[in-house]
Amino acid sequence: MPAESLQIGLIGAGRIGQVHAASLASRIPAARMLMVADVVEDAAQACARQYGIPQAVRDYHALLANPQIEAVVICSATDTHAQIIAEAAQAGKHIFCEKPIALSLGAIDAALQAVEQAGVKLQVGFNRRFDANFRRVRDAVVRGEIGQPELLHIISRDPAPPPLAYIKASGGMFLDMTIHDFDMARFLIGSEVEEVYVAAGVIVDPAIGEAGDVDTAVILLKFANGTIGTIENSRRAVYGYDQRVEILGSAGAIRIDNNHPNTAVISTADSVHHDLPLNFFMTRYTESYVAELAAFVEAVLHDTAVLVSGQDARVPVVMGLAARMSYVEHRPVRVHDIPS
Amino acid sequence: MPAESLQIGLIGAGRIGQVHAASLASRIPAARMLMVADVVEDAAQACARQYGIPQAVRDYHALLANPQIEAVVICSATDTHAQIIAEAAQAGKHIFCEKPIALSLGAIDAALQAVEQAGVKLQVGFNRRFDANFRRVRDAVVRGEIGQPELLHIISRDPAPPPLAYIKASGGMFLDMTIHDFDMARFLIGSEVEEVYVAAGVIVDPAIGEAGDVDTAVILLKFANGTIGTIENSRRAVYGYDQRVEILGSAGAIRIDNNHPNTAVISTADSVHHDLPLNFFMTRYTESYVAELAAFVEAVLHDTAVLVSGQDARVPVVMGLAARMSYVEHRPVRVHDIPS
Amino acid sequence: MPAESLQIGLIGAGRIGQVHAASLASRIPAARMLMVADVVEDAAQACARQYGIPQAVRDYHALLANPQIEAVVICSATDTHAQIIAEAAQAGKHIFCEKPIALSLGAIDAALQAVEQAGVKLQVGFNRRFDANFRRVRDAVVRGEIGQPELLHIISRDPAPPPLAYIKASGGMFLDMTIHDFDMARFLIGSEVEEVYVAAGVIVDPAIGEAGDVDTAVILLKFANGTIGTIENSRRAVYGYDQRVEILGSAGAIRIDNNHPNTAVISTADSVHHDLPLNFFMTRYTESYVAELAAFVEAVLHDTAVLVSGQDARVPVVMGLAARMSYVEHRPVRVHDIPS
Amino acid sequence: MPAESLQIGLIGAGRIGQVHAASLASRIPAARMLMVADVVEDAAQACARQYGIPQAVRDYHALLANPQIEAVVICSATDTHAQIIAEAAQAGKHIFCEKPIALSLGAIDAALQAVEQAGVKLQVGFNRRFDANFRRVRDAVVRGEIGQPELLHIISRDPAPPPLAYIKASGGMFLDMTIHDFDMARFLIGSEVEEVYVAAGVIVDPAIGEAGDVDTAVILLKFANGTIGTIENSRRAVYGYDQRVEILGSAGAIRIDNNHPNTAVISTADSVHHDLPLNFFMTRYTESYVAELAAFVEAVLHDTAVLVSGQDARVPVVMGLAARMSYVEHRPVRVHDIPS
């Protein structure tokens, strides 16, 4: 156990909660989980057993009331994020919260205000910023390896649509799926998006349309620094999880490909082929989930700035709202025109 | 010499004229060039000597008047295409013409009408349709290898901007450069584009902006069959001529990469690297220039349909005009709204 | 903490010892380290602090005498392996030992006999068998994806030679470096090597030759099943750690490439390039070190066969001795002719 | 027609004869075929019609007697090469001859002596030297891009075995197939091979063994400059024609991959795949056949040295004989020990 460690409470023991529990338990020596809370008490207890967490509770308020706990990791249902952030801030806990904070700007702003008043740190779970591929692209831009960015293209496709129940509660594809790409666009280019235009449709599954959402979209972005970007989204790429980026700059270009489980190339009488890319975001982004939490623990322990701020959480939601408006009104929409 | 051959007159002995002369002289056994015309008579004579063409003239009318000549290959200045097409049609010659026929729809329609009245064949020089890579993409779509197309992405970047004088006479990037991509979009997807939206700017060179043109653009396309497409254009990719396409379909995806002069991978203490892609359209598309003329000669000799019709020449101009309007008016534009 | 766990003692807290300590501490929930021993007592204590091991000692006999300890992980100096294996076996401990057991067959056989008499499990550290790439190749062979193997080619190059002192104590390149490739050859093809022929030389550094070793070699292998194989070894590949394999079979071929830190492709005015491959065996094979220990813990807890047996440790040493003889005597050598 | 041209007679109108006829007719402006000879007179006449050659004969002596003919291209059966070379030299003709000159050194030396006495030029058809990929490797070595060569690996596999009748007359795999790789080894490394050791077998088809040949082989080469090389040969690679090379040098490495008909990557629910590589040597090496003849025509017209000399034709045969001896006697064989 390192001399310095951070005492953590985990709120939410579902899928992503367990991912973070595993990282905290075994990959981040400076982190120490003291409690886990889940509205399904069995889930909390199972998680505690699995990852050696001393205490499991149903109500996260018990966790916030524990004076030993210095920071919380919020993995509960999306519609509880803003409320828990505010309460955790008031309790003086540093906060790591899964994205998004909320789907309405009012709720986000209330949460961010509570954080600011409490003076605690808040990091939001845009894990892709910590992925080796995306980070390499950002590094190339920062170091000037490709000169000034001019064109950005993001491909972001899921292997298959989520259940309809999920889609109905998701806030729509722009706030559920594209939000990661909006964050990536700002992060990679290092400039804000001023205008969006969206072409979208229901191509994959009519039921998604009946649920009020789209399943395929292209979002055109104009950045303050002149870069023009596009995001390609689809709820279905039958060959797997497709996550690529390409930037053209004044002095060159950089692109990243998908991660594959191995480098094997097999040649037969029919074709030269590779295995499919890593299919699921948890295998594809495994290391980035560890890295984001490690960075959060580090930022709290050494009192440095978090790498994904509350503002970084807010802006992609504004972009998502602008995208939705562009789609509905069938016109380019300025991001500044979205009311708070 | 094959029993059956086509007697051809070449109009225009500039850069592309010489490319076609070389193909006709040495790669297409069934073609036989009888005359070459160029307003610069020395150029016509040099071309005749180089490629063994019996007769060189200044005025193409001499060529149209030659009853032995069955077909013409028009490589003269763009603003002469429509007029020469009309005259050649009236003279009963079959016609291969470099793209575009004209930059105004009125001129195009007059030329196409002359062709129709004369009952001659007209093929337009969208050579990329004959390239092995693009053709493989089209084949994948036709065969259903990737299911129904859903998203199309075309990357089309030149190594460096052309001279300003060229740009001023070009009709603008959408009609000069994107026109190839508009053709490719229709060809690959097999459906018409109904709406375009353009984001464009002057990023590469302010002088291009002063000349009234843009040098960087993203064009968003909505197809009649529901496919959504994007075209990325830049007048400058410092690493060379960048010509790629990717389609996502309901059953898979296909993408093509650039052609390289060799397959060598060199690993040093600094990096793992390849040589740059083929840099110039004439080396990149060499074989497609031969293939398009061979197909034209074949279509005339066997009286079959040409693979790139007059309508195929007209539609991309309409799309270019719509793109220009979208850029100027800053809104999505329906292609049907462009007046003839 | 899982219900079932294995109590482990670690012998040797050097570089590879720390790698295994990290895996046992954080990646293999069923493992529990009780003691660490190192002849440098400070090293043992530092390792204990870092990985939360309750007890650190200088003399491994204290560890063997601890009745709570069920298994040992031997990471001490190579020339101590055989002796410690024998003592650990006599103490009734299951054994994971780094390769090689010893450089002489007499010492190996004595150790294996002790293991057999004690009825404990012994797994040897040929970690590459647990790497995703090599495993994919083996799977292709086993599944018949490429038919019957016919030709095998292994490329195995270090980024730079080790210190001369290391080389002098290493037993020579064939027993130090090629030994991994000998194991891989048997593992991938699933057949024994009957004959070796070696061409080798001192190309990288004359000092290696003065130390009595070679630094560059090609080893030609004839397998019992008719497959012909080659191993290419070099102590220096300036671009990094180069570990590739290719097999031609009757129904196809499979090859694996190096692992890179990211998938980025950067195109500039000079070249199209990637970052160098992962440079060091510990970053290249990180996951395989975890996987081999996890497999060992599993085999002990569930009393199943280990995946790398004592015989698997012995045969590559025989092959190494045959390779040395082939090099010295400049002729093909049958592996069976090497005396025990 | 260029001012300067070379008047050529073609001897042999079989498969490779027709390839060269096509190149001379349409791709090499300075070449002019005056006659074609073939023992099957119909073949000669068909070839003449196809490629516009004025005269077709059965007996090549008529061609040698034609004073207008300055050079001959010999594509007849292998066992006639040496005799025709000698006669053509005596007739004062420059000579391009398909490989090999002969399968016995006595016959080769007699032919080379005739060439030397006559003072004519002789170029041998090792076309791969003119291929863009292999040439890029040679350039890298010459320019020092990878430092001093240390290890060479050549993969050379045919899609499928030739007919048994062909194999029986071929002189064996080492002189029929490996001979190209022997030439490539010398060409790429720029040093002579001093010793060979061969492991070979009959793995693909027992009938090949019954015909006295092998179908699978690895040839280990020691070069005068210290480089160690391996050649992997197989008569069958079900995925197509496999022609690759890799060199490790003191400052880096270079490798070349196969050529594919297109760059398409297709991703489906099963795999990420490419089309098979170009399958047949005539499509794979198309351009190299043109380039070697163009170089020959150039060398004759401008009286410069040919790029593949008579000695370049002789050495690979010596290597092939040494390989055969190594296989039969099961020992390394010094190339110098092969008697003339």
To the nearest whole angstrom, how far is the Cα of A319 from the nearest Cα of chain B? Answer: 17
Chosen for mutation from B157, B263, B267, B274 (greatest number of chain C CBs closer than 10 Å) is: B267
Peptide bond into D100 cis (omega under 30): yes
Q: Touching D: which chains, 3+ CB pairs < 8 A?
A: A, B, C
Within-domain flag for D290: no
* Ramachandran assignment for A147, one of left (phi > 0), alpha (psi -120 to 50 degrees), beta (any other): left
Within-domain flag for C298: no
- Specify the pLDDT at position B24: 93
Residues B206 and B104 in one domain: no
Cross-chain residue pair B252–A236, CB shorter than 8 Å: no
- Specify the pLDDT at position B58: 97
CB atoms under 10 Å from CB of D67, counted, come to: 8
- B16 with B47: CB under 8 angstroms? no
To the nearest whole angstrom, how far is the Cα of B256 from the nearest Cα of chain C? Answer: 15
**Mean of the per-residue pLDDT values for chain C?**
95
Peptide bond into C100 cis (omega under 30): yes
**Mean of the per-residue pLDDT values for chain D?**
95
B191-205, C140-154, C280-294: range with lowest mean pLDDT: C280-294
* Ramachandran assignment for D252, one of left (phi > 0), alpha (psi -120 to 50 degrees), beta (any other): left
Within-domain flag for A299: no
Cross-chain residue pair B228–A217, CB shorter than 8 Å: yes
Q: What is the CATH number of the domain that holds D140?
A: 3.30.360.10
Cross-chain residue pair D271–A276, CB shorter than 8 Å: yes
Q: Which chain D residues touch C218 with a CB distance below 8 Å?
A: 151, 220, 228-230
- Specify the pLDDT at position A282: 73
DSSP labels for A257-291? ----S---EEEESS-EEEPPPP-SHHHHTHHHHHH
To the nearest whole angstrom, how far is the Cα of A166 from the nearest Cα of chain D? Answer: 24
Residues D155 and D176 in one domain: yes
What are the tens digits of pLDDT across the range C212-246? Answer: 999 999 999 999 999 999 999 999 999 999 999 99
Q: Domain boundary at B75, B99, B120, which? A: B120
Q: Which chain B residues touch C275 with a CB distance below 8 Å?
A: 271-272
Chosen for mutation from B145, B173, B232 (greatest number of chain A CBs closer than 10 Å) is: B232
Residues C89 and C159 in one domain: no
ipTM: 0.93
Q: Which of C1, C253, C258 sits opposite A52 (nearest CB)?
A: C1
- Exposure string of B198-237, with b = 16+ CB inside 10 Å and e = fewer, is bbbbbbbbeebeebebbbbbbbbbbbeeebbbbbbbbbbb
What are the tens digits of pLDDT across the range D12-41? Answer: 999 999 999 989 988 898 999 999 999 999
d(CA B63, CA B36) in angstroms, rounded, equals 8
Residues D18 and D141 in one domain: no
3 state DSSP class of B258? coil
Q: Domain boundary at B120, B143, B178, which? A: B120
Q: Domain boundary at D120, D137, D163, which? A: D120
To the nearest whole angstrom, how far is the Cα of B332 from the nearest Cα of chain A? Answer: 7
Cross-chain residue pair B273–C271, CB shorter than 8 Å: yes
A interface with C, Cβ–Cβ < 8 A, is 1, 25-27, 29, 52, 132-133, 135-137, 140, 145-146, 251-259, 261-269, 275
Q: Touching B: which chains, 3+ CB pairs < 8 A?
A: A, C, D
Within-domain flag for B308: no
Q: Which phi and psi angles does A273 have, rounded to 5°?
A: -135, 160
d(CA B146, CA B250) in angstroms, rounded, equals 6
Residues B153 and B245 in one domain: yes
DSSP labels for D282-323? HHHTHHHHHHHHHHHHHHHHTT---SS-HHHHHHHHHHHHHH
- What contacts B181, CB < 8 A, 6 or more positions away? B154, B156, B219, B231, B233
Confidence of residue D2 (pLDDT cuts 50, 70, 90): very low
- Exposure string of C87-121, with b = 16+ CB inside 10 Å and e = fewer, is bbbebebbbbbbbbbbbebebbbbbbebbeebebb
To the nearest whole angstrom, how far is the Cα of C220 from the nearest Cα of chain B? Answer: 25
- Specify the pLDDT at position C283: 78
Of all residues in chain A, the one with the smallest CA distance to D265 is A273
Residues B157 and B45 in one domain: no
- Specify the pLDDT at position C315: 97
One-letter amino acid at D95 equals I
Cross-chain residue pair C136–A264, CB shorter than 8 Å: yes
- Specify the pLDDT at position D282: 73
d(CA B326, CA B286) in angstroms, rounded, equals 34
What's the whole-number mean pLDDT along residues D51-77? 96
To the nearest whole angstrom, how far is the Cα of A273 from the nearest Cα of chain D? Answer: 4
Of all residues in chain D, the one with the smallest CA distance to A274 is D272
Question: Number of C-alpha atoms within 13 angstroms, CB side, residue A49?
Answer: 8
d(CA A2, CA D249) in angstroms, rounded, equals 46
d(CA B96, CA B23) in angstroms, rounded, equals 14
Listed as ranges, residues in chain B with pLDDT below 50 are 1-3
- A221 with A335: CB under 8 angstroms? no
To the nearest whole angstrom, how far is the Cα of B252 from the nearest Cα of chain A? Answer: 6
3 state DSSP class of D269? coil
Cross-chain residue pair D251–C228, CB shorter than 8 Å: no
Q: Which chain B residues touch C269 with a CB distance below 8 Å?
A: 238-239, 276
Residues D198 and D330 in one domain: yes
To the nearest whole angstrom, how far is the Cα of A251 from the nearest Cα of chain B? Answer: 6
- Exposure string of C14-34, with b = 16+ CB inside 10 Å and e = fewer, is bebbbbbbbbbbbbbbbbbbb
Cross-chain residue pair D137–B264, CB shorter than 8 Å: yes
Confidence of residue D107 (pLDDT cuts 50, 70, 90): very high
d(CA C231, CA C153) in angstroms, rounded, equals 6
- Specify the pLDDT at position D106: 96
Q: Which of B271, B275, B276 sits opposite C274 (nearest CB)?
A: B271
- A183 with A171: CB under 8 angstroms? no
Determine if the pTM surpasses 0.90. Answer: yes
- B219 with A217: CB under 8 angstroms? no
Confidence of residue C2 (pLDDT cuts 50, 70, 90): very low
- Specify the pLDDT at position A1: 40
Cross-chain residue pair A157–B248, CB shorter than 8 Å: yes
Which residues span the domain enclosing C27?
A: 6-120
- Specify the pLDDT at position C340: 80
Strands A55-57 and A71-74: unpaired
- C39 with C11: CB under 8 angstroms? no
Cross-chain residue pair D272–A277, CB shorter than 8 Å: yes
To the nearest whole angstrom, how far is the Cα of D268 from the nearest Cα of chain A? Answer: 5
What are the tens digits of pLDDT across the range C197-210? Answer: 999 999 999 999 99
What are the tens digits of pLDDT across the range D193-216? Answer: 999 999 999 999 999 999 999 999
Within-domain flag for D257: yes
- Specify the pLDDT at position C1: 40
Q: Which chain A residues touch B150 with a CB distance below 8 Å?
A: 203-204, 216, 234
What are the tens digits of pLDDT across the range C93-131? Answer: 999 999 999 999 999 999 999 999 999 999 999 999 999
Q: What is the CATH number of the domain that holds A22?
A: 3.40.50.720
Cross-chain residue pair D266–B254, CB shorter than 8 Å: yes
Residues A154 and A38 in one domain: no
Listed as ranges, residues in chain A with pLDDT below 70 are 1-3
Residues C100 and C152 in one domain: no
Domain count across chain C: 2
Within-domain flag for C180: yes
Q: Which of B27, B255, B262 sits opposite D133 (nearest CB)?
A: B262
3 state DSSP class of C211? coil
Within-domain flag for A165: yes
Q: Which chain A residues touch B237 with a CB distance below 8 Å?
A: 248, 253
Q: Which chain A residues touch D274 with a CB distance below 8 Å?
A: 271-273
3 state DSSP class of C325? helix
* pLDDT surpassing 70 at residue C160: yes
Q: Please tell me what DSSP assigns to residue B224.
A: T
Q: Contacts by B13-17 with C-beta closer than 8 Å and gap 24+?
A: B13/B37, B13/B38, B13/B40, B13/B43, B13/B44, B13/B46, B13/B47, B13/B75, B14/B38, B14/B43, B14/B75, B15/B282, B16/B75, B16/B98, B16/B125, B17/B47, B17/B73, B17/B75, B17/B76
Within-domain flag for C333: yes
Residues B205 and B73 in one domain: no
Strands D252-256 and A94-97: unpaired
Of all residues in chain C, the one with the smallest CA distance to B275 is C271
Q: Which chain B residues touch D269 with a CB distance below 8 Å?
A: 251-252
Cross-chain residue pair D199–C200, CB shorter than 8 Å: no
Q: How many residues does chain C have?
A: 340
Q: Which of C260, C272, C277 sits opposite B273 (nearest CB)?
A: C272
- Specify the pLDDT at position D194: 98
Residues C48 and C158 in one domain: no
Q: Touching C: which chains, 3+ CB pairs < 8 A?
A: A, B, D
* pLDDT surpassing 90 at residue D50: no
Strands C55-57 and B31-37: unpaired
- Specify the pLDDT at position C52: 85
The token duo for C68 is: 């709570």
Cross-chain residue pair A133–C262, CB shorter than 8 Å: yes
Residues C109 and C193 in one domain: no
What are the tens digits of pLDDT across the range D123-140? Answer: 999 999 999 999 999 999
d(CA D310, CA A269) in angstroms, rounded, equals 39
Q: Which of D240, D260, D272 sits opposite A276 (nearest CB)?
A: D272
D interface with B, Cβ–Cβ < 8 A, is 1, 25-27, 29, 52, 132-133, 135-137, 140, 145-146, 251-259, 261-269, 275
Cross-chain residue pair C151–D222, CB shorter than 8 Å: no
d(CA C241, CA C256) in angstroms, rounded, equals 14
Q: Which of D239, D272, D277 sits opposite A274 (nearest CB)?
A: D272
> CA dist D269 to A160, A252, A267, B94, Å?
11, 33, 18, 47
Question: What are residue B8's DSSP bridge partners?
Answer: B33, B71
What's the whole-number mean pLDDT along residues D267-296? 90
Q: Which of D268, D269, D276 sits opposite A272 (nearest CB)?
A: D276
Question: What are residue C195's DSSP bridge partners?
Answer: C222, C334
To the nearest whole angstrom, how far is the Cα of C163 from the nearest Cα of chain A? Answer: 31
Cross-chain residue pair B133–D256, CB shorter than 8 Å: no
Of all residues in chain A, the one with the smallest CA distance to D160 is A269
Check the CA dihedral D44-D47-D49-D53 and report its sign.
negative
